[in-house]
Amino acid sequence: MSWTQWFIFLLILQIIHGLGTWKLYIKAGRKPWEAFVPVYNAVILMKIISRPWWWVILMFLPIVNLIMIPAAWVETARAFGKDTKLDALLCIVTLGFYLYYLNYVAGVNYVEKRKLTPKTSTGEWITSILFAIVAATIVHTYFFQPFVIPSSSLEKSLLVGDFLIVSKIHYGPRLPMTTVGAPMVHDTIPKLGTKSYLFNDHFEERNTSWMNKLQLPYFRFPGFEKIERNDIVVFGQPADTLVDMNKFTPDRNYYKPIDKKTNLVKRCVGIPGDTLEVRNGIVYINGKQNKLPNRAKVQFSYDIEFANITANSMYELSEKVKPILKKYDITDGIGYDNQRETFIIQATQEAAKKAVVHPNIASITFHGEDEGIRDSRVFPHDLKHNWNYNFFGPIWIPKAGATINLDMDNISIYKRAIGEYEGHNVVTRGNQIFIDNKPATSYTFKQDYYWMMGDNRHNSIDARAWGFVPYDHVIGKPVFIWMSIDGINDGLKNWSIRWDRVFTTVSGTGERTSYLIPFIILVLGITFFNKWRKKKKAK
């Protein structure tokens, strides 16, 4: 729904609330009209049920309000003497319409200065758990979100098994667009494996289904910095049609809402207005080679030949050479190219130069596609652009307010952005382009777009596969590694903690510095200080 439709919907809800509670307001010593005034009625209700005013804010926050509104129903019933478990259940099961019964039928009286604490220990536990979920959901949605590096696309800059804290306040937190969903989870409920939100993800029904009418329009609160070139960014995968990011063969395509698309982390190598090109795996921006931060470690694919090593299977060979490669910090596994009949590794240029001198390694040679050889997996998936992962572009990245001339040579590059991300109908008929059934030779973009790539240049599914990332898909900026586990992709059979990465910053210059010891000292200091203060007060 649009903001106007949501406004009308909320007005209807206010009328429903007023009709179901105005007599209760009178019994509580208030005026009947106060039950009908939007927002103000919620403030007065908080006074009636003896709850703090900031509950009003929580009742209007998406997802959080799924807990707070039922809590307000139950507290309203309790304020008028209906405080049994059955009363609470009736409030929730009837979606609050139990208050109509209290308002018009039941002879209830207002209970002044009622006891707010739960009567039983079970009630205390439930209350504590609910408000812990509320607090955690607010932090998770608007401030900081945990994220685990799932793939090696940023190896060696960020490693598989790095546990990150992602800041949403840097670029500005998004208001959730999906209004009905489970708190504290993303697109699926753990263990159950079922969808965690209410949305019809069939392509044919996504614009007509009543469930999808509950979506809020996109809105982002102001941040304190913009996305800069070479920032590492967490975002929703624009072309995501998977139920599970680890299952690449679903029974059909699933069209998720923006805020429920699979979360990815990549490096933003191109910002709005840039012209980007990849030459032999090296990124060029506006004709100049992109300068990466000194912590960035770029990897490429290399063909590798071994000497004096025999193995009966790929697994046996991998196990034999893994300790050799690990000496040179080559840890991204080993693959095999059936066409070239060669083994492939991912390594930095420095690591490849060092490893080739090992007596069990015969040769290491750069493995990259030649210029002009088209890779069908590469964006924009058009025969007019013979691009691959090693040679790509040049391509202009759209900027909000900027206008581009459209023709049959570049429409395939910008068609998805104009159609899918900006909501227009784009078709070509003969040699002519139509936007919303009108002939078009140019287009002015509504929002900024970014080019996200992995530092593992030849082993990363990134913007070269699915194109531009719209700003409304951006989630946040990774700022901190609080834990790092080696072996997480092996089912934790032979796992270990990378202590040198624990409590380190994601960005920065120079070698990583762990703040684990200072953090432990700080926690112990605060703990002992609180104990000392309590003893002093007791005396």
Task: Identify the burial level of 166 via C-beta atoms within 10 angstroms of its C-beta, where 0-12 means exposed, 13-18 middle and 19 or more buried.
Answer: buried
| CA separation for the pair 247, 522 (Å, rounded) | 43
Q: Is 246 a residue whose pLDDT tops 60? A: no
Domain boundaries, the chain: 3-116, 144-270+456-461+469-538
The SS3 of residue 359 is: coil
| CA separation for the pair 333, 329 (Å, rounded) | 11
Has this prediction a pTM greater than 0.85?
Answer: yes
Q: Is 22 a residue whose pLDDT tops 80? A: yes
Query: How confident is residue 310, by pLDDT bands cut at 50, 70 and 90?
Result: confident
Architecture of domain 144-270+456-461+469-538: Ribbon (2.10)
The SS3 of residue 518 is: helix
Annotated catalytic residue, options 156, 260, 261, 266? 266
Segment among 11-15, 149-153, 295-299, 377-381 with least mean pLDDT = 149-153
Whether 493 sits among the annotated catalytic residues: the reply is no
Kindly give, in sequence order, each residue whose CB lies less than 8 Å from that of residue 355, ignoring residues fewer than 6 positions away. 324, 325, 327, 328, 330, 347, 361, 364
Number of H helices, E strands in the chain: 12, 22
The DSSP letter of residue 406 is -
| CA separation for the pair 181, 51 (Å, rounded) | 25
pLDDT single digits (tens) 91-109: 999 998 999 999 998 888 8
Whether 153 sits among the annotated catalytic residues: the reply is yes
pLDDT single digits (tens) 413-454: 999 999 989 989 999 988 899 999 999 999 999 999 999 999
Annotated catalytic residue, options 153, 167, 301, 484? 153
